[in-house]
Structure 1
Amino acid sequence: MNFIPYGRQNITEEDIDAVVNVLKSDYLTQGPKVPEFENAIKEHCNVEYALAMNSATSALHVACLALDVGKDDIVWTTPITFVASANCALYCGATVDFVDIDPKTYNLSIQALREKLQAAKIESKLPKVVIPVHLCGQSCDMEAIYELSQEYGFSIIEDASHAIGGSYQNKPIGNCQYSDITIFSFHPVKIITTAEGGVATTNSDKLAQKMDLLRSHGITRDTELMTHKPDGPWYYQQIDLGFNYRMTEMQAALGVSQIERLQSITKSRHKIAQRYNEQLACLPVITPFQIQESYSGLHLYVIRLKLDEIKPTHLEVFNSLRAANIGVNLHYIPVHLQPYYQKHFDFQTGDFPQAEQYYKEAISLPLYPDLTKEQQNYIVATLEGILRND
């Protein structure tokens, strides 16, 4: 069996043609395709604003800045995420802390959040922003998080990097009903791709204007934002310290083409996940838990090994699958256990026990639309042989 990656892009001839057409056009950057892609995201999410950027990390950074995160502020997120969900606050000079995960959904635990907020209020250390992460594509309990935000006064950035195409309470993730800003990622292994890229959605005029400014050097041509009348038609002003976080026309063209297939891509992922659920039902593993009010984008299919029921260790199972050309992965190493965070914030093993237990047991199996039944059968049969120590 040829190598099977845990995830990969799905590129069609239509996608290729869309990019080639841009290469033949007058614009490779700052042309019509970026607004077209943004409008497609707005329409899909039923949200007022969508701002495309060169990565989800960039979008998280400017989202924090738009919410005035800075020195002496505190931002909370989950330890089971990619480091960008936490790093974005550090870029702004803030302090980062974590909230342990729910043992069923692997998302941020509402009970742990509530208890941590109660303690933080007593100590006058409440967070300015909380960043819930929709791990694997399944939404966090956003209504509950929003209710706590109203009680304790924090803003919310949804890290929905895994979740485009998913929904919560029958509404598309990204509509910002229960958050200030939502962030999507379009990295090649994500549900749809722009090669690299991200988008921030919001319903706030003020936040959208601020993020738009920051993604392009802090420069504006809007005369209403300038300090004086323009010197001429060439004139622009830098009114803030921004960044070059813009998305290219080629990336946007690929995104426009890909989003047309979003529904079918998501359905394909669900079909593959359902086959996994059925095939793995009798094995000593825990399959993903789906909450009723959420429809997952299904970026990842994570199993947890029942280590007390099998002979091989977590590492042995992982290595055996890799040796069989199955490109499993582990999403994620708890961020608080990363050397940088332990050095600068004194996090210790044992600080977030649910996250650490998840890390000891989790393995991401291959999941992408082009995964064939033959490949999936091979993955399951190989896993079964390893677990049964055949």
Structure 2
Amino acid sequence: MGSGIILEYIEGGESKTRSIDLLDLRPDTDVTALVEEIQKREPLITASCLEHVIHLVQRLQEKLGENQNHKFSLFKVLRTHVLPLTNVAFNKSGSRFITGSYDRTCKLWDTASGEELHSLEGHRNVVYAIAFNNPYGDKIATGSFDKTCKVWSTETGKCYHTFRGHSAEIVCLSFNPQSTLLATGSMDTTAKLWDLEKGEEVATLNGHSAEIIALSFNTTGDRIITGSFDHTVAVWDVGTGRLLHTLIGHRGEISSAQFNWDCSLIVTGSMDKTCMLWDAVTGTHIATLAGHSKEVLDVCFDYAGQRIATASADGSARVYNAGTKQCIAKLEGHEDEISKVCFNPKGNCILTASSDKTARLWDAATGHCLQVLEGHADEIFSCAFNYKGDTIITGSKDNSCRIWH
């Protein structure tokens, strides 16, 4: 990697520049020694600016280090529950994570030590949907097949509220970004918004004709989308609970739906083997991203909203450019369906979880497989990065979670 710094100086009243190449700079170089070497040949680096130049070169060096792809290794295996897991989720920093299970509990874990901090008990059926109220992380929500949703204190493990009102299983939930509302989606075809402060229902989102299996707030928190088995995605106004748009076009059940970072686009994945892109403001269809030979099981944007990743039952994942709508990479290597896909926060890596018992890391630009995370004894249905992107968690049907650093 060629890199360097440019020195600006004044000579005879004119501004001039001199570039110094740093071809020898490596992630493990002693920067101070390197700059002192350059100083011997370069009179422009005076004693007064030496510290500043060292600091600049150190920052360059950090950037170089980030380009070396981090290799993850297994840090811990947690035998989390006696019955199968349903979902796993991190808090923002990744210092804690939660697991939901068929054993009717949600457990809170310390990532560094692997110790169980709390077992959240009280549901009368499978705990299916779970979430932290990130970025805060002081609350946990659990949605259950018992038709209720509970909100808990992360610190004490005490239950703040039990929300009753759905007439069938709750299968998805999400806090709004401000952490003032919780949304729940149910097999009863409705979604509900709950006020976390008052502990009561604010709105019921009526309009779908089949189960709601995906929901997502936009980053400003004024819109929410719901994806349903009725083949449509609905866009709702959070303040009024009013239906703004119905996104019609898919010919199969919706598997996932997400806003991009600046709330301008919505991406949807469906059992009809396609992924669709929509204008979030007008609700109009922008593009259909085809190519998969079986159902699209998961879709996501990178944090900048520039790229879309899709995961399919055909065992492959794909990366599309949100601007050109072109497929820029095919991620091939898994031997069975991929149920989850996510970008690392920097957006240069993609993580996939598969029924072939492995998770894989891929280069988002080239589609090259960087690493295979092996060791689970059954299908992996959940995978996540922490906010820094240096810890991964995988959840498997083998009832264990694995933490990778």
- TM-score, normalised to structure 1's length? 0.22
Highest RCO, 1 vs 2 (Cα 8 Å, sep ≥ 6)? 1
Which structure is higher in strand share? 2
- Where is the helix percentage greater, Structure 1 or Structure 2? 1
Instruction: Give the greater-gyration-radius structure (CA).
Output: 2
TM-score by length of structure 2 reads 0.22
